[in-house]
Amino acid sequence: MRLKGKAAIITGAAQGFGAGIAQVFAREGARVMVVDLNEEGAVKMAESLPHQALAHKANVAKLAEVKALVKRANEEFGRVDIIVNNAGTSHPGGALHRVKEADFDRVFAVNVKSLYNFAVAGVPVMEERGGCFINIGSSAAIRPRPGIAWYNGTKGAVHIISKSMAVELAPYKIRVNVVAPVAGDNPLLTSVMGQDSPENREQYRASIPLGRFSTPRDIANAALFLASDEASLITGAVLEVDGGRCI
Ligand SMILES: NC(=O)c1ccc[n+]([C@@H]2O[C@H](COP(=O)([O-])OP(=O)(O)OC[C@H]3O[C@@H](n4cnc5c(N)ncnc54)[C@H](O)[C@@H]3O)[C@@H](O)[C@H]2O)c1
């Protein structure tokens, strides 16, 4: 078991990539806190996991809520070794100058401010023992597509903030890495495509050299490697899990 004895907080883990990460981390021995806005989904996921997994309803964009959940994880697990900033959202796909201000603000709050919130709350509990952050970026930050400009920008911020965190937190033995998925065949894809049609889906799929969408298991396997001791010298990396999309 590659994460035996470790405690992990995984955001947006009620479904999608986060759920896949929670399942794989728990399988590998970690105690997991499943964080999500969707309380019912978080409870269901936590109940399905071994090693006393916890469910916690929170909005990752709110500092007070993030401080409370990190405190709870630290008290109940006695430690926090891994924080996976996975919760994310997009604005509806479309012309960049027609995106609503409220959507712009929401996307930056959920995708970017959450990293600030978890740094403020998480670094103090990790700095004695060390630990790691895994932030979910995107191939959209490296090879942006039209129609989701502001979302692409949030993921660019995730990549550079992660590198900044990596270099600054290295003296505390806190590693910070990014997993950058290519599109998965899931609800987020539907919202960013603008128009969901078999033709649009095929166009997305065909732009991935290995010829398929990403799955929660693909992303979880990459996150597992980065969280494990096998990656103990890896920090500031952006691991593209993209079937070659960013080449
Ligand atoms: N799906 C893709 O094609 C794709 C591609 C590249 C990167 N990503 C990134 O991967 C991550 C996960 O995406 P997914 O496809 O699994 O998404 P998803 O929509 O299937 O799941 C996201 C989960 O996050 C939760 N969530 C959303 N906002 C939250 C908030 N403010 N606080 C707490 N929880 C919140 C949702 O309730 C949901 O359970 C995101 O950061 C996304 O940007 C996704």
- Ligand 1 lined by 74 (C-beta under 6 Å): no
Work out which ligand 1 atom sits closest to the CA atom of 38.
Answer: 37
Say whether pLDDT at 194 is over 90.
no
174 vs 56, 58, 101, 127, 226, CA distance in Å? 24, 24, 35, 7, 12
By most ligand atoms within 8 Å of CB, the mutation choice from 21, 24, 37, 150 for ligand 1 is: 37
Domains within the chain, CATH numbers bracketed: 7-241 (3.40.50.720)
pLDDT digits (tens, 9 = 90+) for 58-106: 999 999 999 999 999 999 999 999 999 999 999 999 999 999 999 999 9
- Ligand 1 lined by 17 (C-beta under 6 Å): yes
C-alpha 128 to ligand 1 mean position (Å): 30
pLDDT digits (tens, 9 = 90+) for 136-153: 999 999 999 999 999 999
Is the CB of residue 10 less than 8 Å from the CB of residue 73? no
